[in-house]
Amino acid sequence: MLAALLPQLLCASAERLSQSLISMDSGATERLKKLQGKQLAFTLRELKLRLVLTAGADRLLFNQHNETVDCAISTDLASLRQLRDASQLTRLIKADALQIEGDIQVAQQYSYFLQSLDPDWQEALSGYVGDAMAHKIALSIKQLQSYLQLKSQLVGQSVTMLAQDELLLTPGSLELQQFSQEVSELSARVARLTASLSDLKE
């Protein structure tokens, strides 16, 4: 019984959360108009759960159905974080970690809308804790966001360095420059040999 109700509870919670965030962002409703009526289905393979997002006039609606939508995405939890990086899409598709059916621009528009949400936490909190405390809390939230973004970038750089230095999966910039120089030198030698052969034939 609880398992059957879980998707409904998830949809209702996600809908309330998104509505709150949209209401706290003064420009969100205008940006949402570009998505109005478009549907994006999102399936997480491990959970066997298919959520369908529909853009309304001032909110996102979350529900479940198997009807045709503008774009349908199927992926796993491990690949979910990488979807924010557009450069990873081709690799994920080739690895069968991501399947996309329909208009990929709809998925990109939804991604842009969700990432561009900028709730005015200070305004929302001021009614509960007063202007001064709301300002302090909003400042702390922004500092936390900046800190998390920085840490995320550092982790990404560490993974890249590990791949280059330890696992030797991708070449570094110096290796690429050296390889390019060797190719140029080889090309020049081939050109000289070709010219010498031409002289000999004559």
pLDDT, tens only, 39-54: 999 888 877 788 899 9
How far apart are alpha carbons 22 and 62 in whole angstroms? 14
What digits encode the pLDDT tens for the residues 120-133? 766 666 666 677 77
Judgement on whether residues 115 and 148 belong to the same structural domain of the protein: no
**Total domain count for the chain?**
2
Domain termination residue (choose one: 119, 154, 173): 119
Model confidence at 202, pLDDT cuts 50, 70, 90, reads low
Judgement on whether residues 113 and 13 belong to the same structural domain of the protein: yes
Question: Is 124 part of a structural domain of the chain?
Answer: no
Domain range for residue 164?
142-201
Judgement on whether residues 26 and 103 belong to the same structural domain of the protein: yes
Judgement on whether residues 36 and 86 belong to the same structural domain of the protein: yes
How far apart are alpha carbons 107 and 39 in whole angstroms? 9
Q: Judge contact between 32 and 57, C-beta under 8 A.
A: yes
Judgement on whether residues 26 and 86 belong to the same structural domain of the protein: yes
The predicted pLDDT at position 40 comes to 93
Question: Is 130 part of a structural domain of the chain?
Answer: no
Judgement on whether residues 147 and 195 belong to the same structural domain of the protein: yes
Domain termination residue (choose one: 50, 84, 119): 119
How far apart are alpha carbons 13 and 44 in whole angstroms? 18
Q: Where is 7: in which H helix or E strand?
A: helix 2-23
